[in-house]
Structure formats: structure tokens, C-alpha cells
Amino acid sequence: MTNRLSFEASPYLKQHAENPVDWHPWDEEALELAKSEGKPILLSIGYSTCHWCHVMAHESFEDPAIASVMNEHFINIKVDREERPDLDKIYQMALQLINPQGGGWPLTMFLDPTSLLPFFGGTYFPNQPRFQLPGFSDLLLRLTDAFQNKQEELAEQGEKLQAALAQMVPPLLDPNLKDIELLQAAREQLGQQYDPRDGGFGGAPKFPMPNAISRLLRHWRYTRKSGGNDKEALDMVMVTLTQMARGGIFDHVGGGFCRYATDAKWMVPHFEKMLYDNALLLKLYAAGLCFGPDELFEAAIRETITWLEREMRHESGGFYAALDADSEGQEGKFYVWRREQIKKLLTDDEYLLVETLYGLDKPANFENHWNFHRYDSWRSVVERLSLERGEAGQLLATAKGKLFEARSKRIRPSTDTKILTAWNGLLISGLAATGSQLNEAHWIALAHETADFLRESCWVDGQLYATWQDGEAKHAGYLDDYANLLQGLLDLLSVSWREVDIQFAIELADALVKNFYDSDEGGFYFTAHDHEKLILRPKPTVDDALPPGNGIAAMALVRLGHLLGQSDYLDPAHNTLRWARGIMERVPAGHCALLGALEETIYPGEQIVLRGPIDLMQQWADELAVGYTPERSQYLIPYTDTTTLPAYLPRLVSSEQQALVTAYVCTGLSCSLPITELDEVKALLN
């Protein structure tokens, strides 16, 4: 027996296609059925690599008795939150109002069939009462009784909830702080949240929080430009990046970062790997290398990209969404080791190095197994074992090769093979940054191929689609899809200019402003103007695991507007910041992405446009790209590209001029005269 989910493309929805539950996808047919039968909607939102989603599915959705209750009294709708982030955002916000203790996945909401407003909600519910939670079957019967016999009370509750939801869309507020004071307030809050012992922010569970790390880096840079030196901010960044790369949150055998650590020391992760985390962290580790060589950072980058290309890439060019935490029904089983297993695989010298580096002589850290976590720096381990660095490196490489080969024979966690536009947009940025920083042309080529895939497969007749699966693009794109892909294209253009990419960027930016911009108050809605009408239309500003679309959109449109000299892009960006300016003051450290865009208006960014032979331009670019300068963008535009050029560049250039490199240095909308001497460009920048 299968249900309607068997016709869906999402791996998560397909996981539930053979449940005895009569599941429906979220569509007009299911919503109309709920209305016509007068049954409440049981809305379950999750994703394929969610551990507790698996648990609830096994306990309840696969149980015929519980499924019978669900089918008799509810219209059951299952949603993949990665396909429908709009529904997830809205009903997570609603849950916060119903139950302020917090949200998460699986999200379990009970909706009125007419208004679609929830009258009860939670996350995971066990099949039997435990964890101070009711058993799911009992809960279903109690909610059925309430829906049938307390309609008046539920209607009144729904009206209050609708009013409260309306207030969740941030209004235009007057600011109380100066811009510089706001940036400093965010810096102080992040300092208060910082864990000085183990890096990162807060305690367990500990998330990477790349937006916060990036904010501290940018704060250090702009403080330095203003004549100061916030060394403490830089130290917070470097300690956090170091501890994560050493920690168990990083897969030391196969590469890639897991979603978060269950402890404050980064030792034991929640083992799922998400594309967006790795995309954002690649860009951060590339920034870390701007301060000088670091073997740990470089290895984390190289091993992560190797994993992405080996296991997460579709042959057509896009990258998959996620890798599950579970295999054989157990979280982390694919990744952890018993000491005896490792001893059998390695030589004595290899084992001694691995034991010392990863603490195999210390107590097991995950259910009587070891999850690899570096207890000390590489230099200290090599010196303690009296090894030459080259010898030690070879021993570690051969040991990891043997461990990887042995692990590859285990039953793998499942892969969510959806290709998500927003997450691939972030990865384009990460590949461009790392490829440029480490001079890896292949990684830049991967970024180009990803951009080509999204343009050819997910951009159809001026409409961007959010997902691609089995040859089909689905779900009209959201704000994050447009903003992240636009930002990715601009990052890619800054390391390798292609006419097709700048044209695509312009088309995306035009569609973004046309379809998402709030021309009355400023800011961008999460859904397009012609999107399905839901109980709320969010305008996200707060940092989450992903940066909010308003922050990325504002930053990208500022960069594109300055590059092309067009106010059509600058005005929406500035109006977005004007709208969000007062909101940022509520929780400055929670608006790091928007603060980055605000910074661009306080200290207008620099852009260097080079024209000339590609080899000579690259030599100039390499000499000009020194240190960490997030405010500076370089564009190397060959004379063969003439269709889409910044307005200030001449269209007709003599063959003699084309043989030379000519630079234009711009700050905001003000540009220098053409410069043909590299030293003159350096002097101007300094």
C-alpha cells in the first residue's frame, strides 16, 4: 500500500510513501479535502536527514493503530522543509507563539481546515508517554475532541494567533543608535556569547554560526581601517575555526563538517552533513587563510571539497542537499570506531600517531566508540613522537587512507539527492573563495559548472526554481534562492569573469526586485508577490543556520549597483537597510548578515576593475589581493567581453591599449581615471 507521497520527488516524502498513514503533499487537493470533510489538518514538517524525524516515523507513522487514528480524524499532510521553507518558517513562528519553549523538527502542527491557523503544535511526540510528553495516539484523540467540541474557543484562539502573527513581520522603526554604535553593540554581544575555552558561541549543543564568525572578521577589518585593532575579535575567529577543524564536528577520515556538536568542546557531532554548512565554512576558512598559511585550515578545505565532489555532486553539475546521520538505524554508526578495529588496520607506527593525535588512549567519547577529535595541535603531536614532519605527514596520510577504505565497506548513510538552488548558490561562493585563495583552478571550474547547471536547469523563462530532482525543477524560488545565487555569481565574477554570469546576475537581480521587493516600506518578502497566499508572509531579518535573504540581497544589490553604476539596484538595497535599521537594534548580534550590508554604506566598498590580457591582469590581481579585505572586489574583464560592461568603461579601445592592463579603482560610485601602472594602483589603495 502506498499513499500520494509515492508520486513526489523529494527523498523525504518518498520515505513516508509506504506508511499506513494516508499522507498527502501540501497542495490544493489536500487543502480542499480538509475543508470538504471538515477535518483538521495534521501537518508534519521534516527533512530526510533529521534523526528525530526518523524516530517519530518508526514509532508512530509506521504503527497501523496510530495511523488508523490519524486517518480517521485528520487530513495528514507531510512537507519537506527544504522544498517548502516558506511553510516551515511560518509554522515554526506560529509554534513559538503557541509554545515559547522552541521549535525544531519534526514540526507537528494541527491546523483548522478553513483558516489554516494552528490550534496546537509541538515537535517530536513519542508513541507512549515519556520525556514529559503525552503519547501520540492519546494526544490525537484529545485534539480530536477539542476540535469537535470547543470550536468557539478555538476560533477565538485563532483570531488572537492571527493578530500575533501579523506583528511578527517587522515594521519600519526609527533607529536610536548611530550606525557605528550598532556595529559595536553587535561586537560586544558576540564577545559575551563567546566561549573563551573552546571557541564558538554558547554551550552545548554548539553550532558553527558562520554569520557571527564573519561579523567578527569584518569588525576587525573595519576597526583596523579606522586606525584601531580589535585583536580580540580576530582571536575569537581563529580559535573557533581552529577548534572546529580539530574537533569531531569535522570528519577527519572522509572530509566535511557535520551540522553541530552535541557538546561544548566540538567533540561529538550530530552526524548529519548539510551542504549549506560546508558552503559557508569553506568561505570562512578561505578568509582565515588570508592572514597567512595554516596547514589545518587548508586541509579542512581540501578534504571538504574532495568529499563534496566525490559524494555530493550530481553528474550534471549541481550538489546534493545532505547526508544522513543514521545508518542501519543508528546515529553515527558509519563514522565511529572501536580501538581494536583501528589497530588491526594500521601498522604500529601509524597507530601510534593516530592514537596520539585523536586520543585513542583516552576514554571513548561516543557510546563506547571513538569519534575522531584532535586533542592537540599537529606540531605538538609530531614533536612528542620525535618524528620528522614529512615522515609524520606520510604516516597520517597512509593511515587515513586505510581507515577510509575500511569505512567505505560499511553501510552508508542515505543521501538526500535534492539539488537546492539556495544552497548551491552558497557553495558557488565557497568554491570561488577557496579556489582563488589556494590557486585551485579546478574548484573555480566546479563553481562555473554549478552556476551553469542552475542557469540551465533551474532558471526557466525568467523564473528561478528552488529544487531540482530527477530531471525536473520544482517549486517557485524563494528569496534565499535569488539572493544566494546572485551573491554566488558576484563572488565568482570577482575571481573569473564570464559574460554569461554577469548577464545571469542582472536577470536574477531584476527578477528579485520585481517579484520580492516591498516598494512601500522596503525590504524583501520571503515569497514572491504571486506566491500562494498563506497565513503569514515573512520578511526575514534574523540570522539562522542560513543567512537571512534580506541581508544577502542587500549586500549583493549594493555590489552589483556599484559594479554597474546603476541606482536601480542600489535604491532597493538602501531602502531595505532603512526598513531593517531599527529592527537590528533589538538584537544586534542576531543580525550579522544585515550588519555586513550596513557596513557597506558606512564604508563604501572598493572595486578594482582590470582590463587587458588575462595573464597580465592575473599578475596584477595577485599582487593587489593581499590580506583580508572584504570591502574590496576585483573584476578582470577581458577585452573580448564587450556586451555587459560597467557604464564607466570605454567601449572602443585601440589594439595598442588592449595589449596593456588598465585599472579603474572605484569607491562607491566614484571611479578613478584609467591607471596603467601597477604601483600607482597600489599607492591609491593604500
Q: Rounded to the nearest 10 degrees, how much is the dihedral formed by the CA atoms of 109, 148, 143, 160?
A: 50
**One domain for residues 113 and 134:** yes
What is the greatest pairwise CA distance in the chain?
86
In this structure, the answer to whether residues 271 and 365 fall within a common structural domain is no
Cell of 134: 503525552
**Which of 615, 646, 371 has the alpha carbon at shortest distance from 505?**
646
Question: Which residues form the domain of 395?
Answer: 339-408
Total count of residues recorded for the chain: 686
One-letter amino acid identity for 235?
Answer: D
Q: Which residues pair with 24 in a beta bridge?
A: 77
User: What was the pLDDT predicted at 643?
Assistant: 79
Using alpha carbons, list the distances in angstroms from residue 434 to 221, 351, 452.
19, 32, 19
Q: Do 9 and 122 belong together in one domain?
A: yes
Identify whether 172 is part of a domain: no
Single out the residue in 408, 428, 453 at which a domain terminates: 408
Is 510 a member of any domain? yes
Q: For residue 658, count CB atoms less than 10 angstroms from its CB and return exposed for 0-12, middle for 13-18, buried for 19 or more.
A: middle
Q: Is the same domain home to 267 and 302?
A: yes
The beta strand positions in 240-281, using DSSP E, are: 260-261, 269-270, 273-274
The rounded average pLDDT for each run of 10 residues, N- to C-terminus, in the chain (686 residues) is 91 96 98 97 96 95 97 98 97 92 91 97 93 92 96 93 89 90 97 97 96 97 90 98 98 98 96 97 98 97 98 96 94 96 97 96 95 94 95 97 98 96 98 98 98 98 96 97 98 96 98 97 97 96 95 97 92 96 95 95 89 94 93 92 81 85 91 94 90
pTM check: above 0.85: yes
Q: What's the CA gap between 87 and 91, in Å, rounded?
A: 6
DSSP string, 636-661: EE-TT--SS--TTS-S---HHHHTS-
For 366, which DSSP code? B
Residue 544 makes CB contacts below 8 A (sequence gap 6+) with none
The amino acid occupying position 452 is D
Q: Count structural domains, the chain.
A: 4
What pLDDT is attached to residue 1?
Answer: 66
Residues 6+ apart with CB under 8 A from 549: 478, 479, 480, 482, 483, 484, 524, 526, 540
Query: What residues does 322 pair with on adjacent strands?
Result: 274, 416
C-beta atoms surrounding 93 within 10 Å: 17
3-state class (DSSP) for residue 322: strand
131 plus 27 within the same structural domain: yes
Q: Residues 112, 240: one domain?
A: no
Asked if residue 653 belongs to a domain, the reply is: yes
Q: State the DSSP string of 184-227.
A: HHHHHHHHHHB-TTT-SBSSSSB---HHHHHHHHHHHHHHHHTT
Euclidean distance between CA atoms 250 and 215, whole angstroms: 22
Same domain for 248 and 320?
A: yes
Regarding whether 111 and 15 lie in a shared domain, the answer is: yes
Same domain, residue pair 158 and 184? no
Q: Are residues 250 and 347 in the same domain?
A: no
| Of the residues 352, 381, 408, the one at which a domain ends | 408
Q: Kindly report the CATH number assigned to the domain that includes residue 61.
A: 3.40.30.10
What are the cell numbers at 78? 507531510
Helix, strand or coil, per DSSP, at residue 73: helix
On whether both 317 and 404 belong to a single domain, the answer is no
Query: How high is the pLDDT of residue 653?
Result: 83
Rg (C-alpha) for the chain, rounded Å, is 26
Q: Is residue 174 part of a domain?
A: no
Enter the DSSP assignment of 524. B
How far is the C-alpha of 516 from the C-alpha of 554, rounded, in Å?
12
What cell numbers appear for 673 in the block?
A: 581615471
Other beta carbons within 10 Å of 421 = 27
Cα separation, 323 vs 327, whole angstroms = 10
Among the three residues 408, 424, 444, which one is the final residue of a domain in this structure? Answer: 408
Confirm whether 54 is domain-assigned: yes
CA distances from 448 to 455, 618, 643 (A): 10, 18, 19
CATH code: domain of residue 395? 1.10.10
Q: What is the CATH number of the domain that holds 426?
A: 1.50.10.10
Q: Which residues contact 680 (CB under 8 A, 6 or more apart)?
A: none
Sequence-ordered alpha helix ranges (H) in 346-437? 348-358, 378-384, 389-408, 421-437
Is residue 258 a contact partner of residue 404, using CB atoms and an 8 Å limit?
no
pLDDT at 629: 94
Residues 601 and 587: beta-carbon distance below 8 Å: no
My answer on whether 320 and 188 are in the same domain is yes
Assigned domain for 171 exists: no
CA neighbor of 467 nearest in space, from 53, 60, 86 = 86
> Rounded CA gap, 162 and 98, in Å?
11
Instruction: Tell me if 388 is assigned to some domain.
Output: yes
Q: Does the residue 309 lie in any domain?
A: yes
CA dist., res. 502 & res. 560, Å (int): 9
The alpha carbon of 23 is separated from its chain's Cα centroid by a whole number of angstroms, namely 29
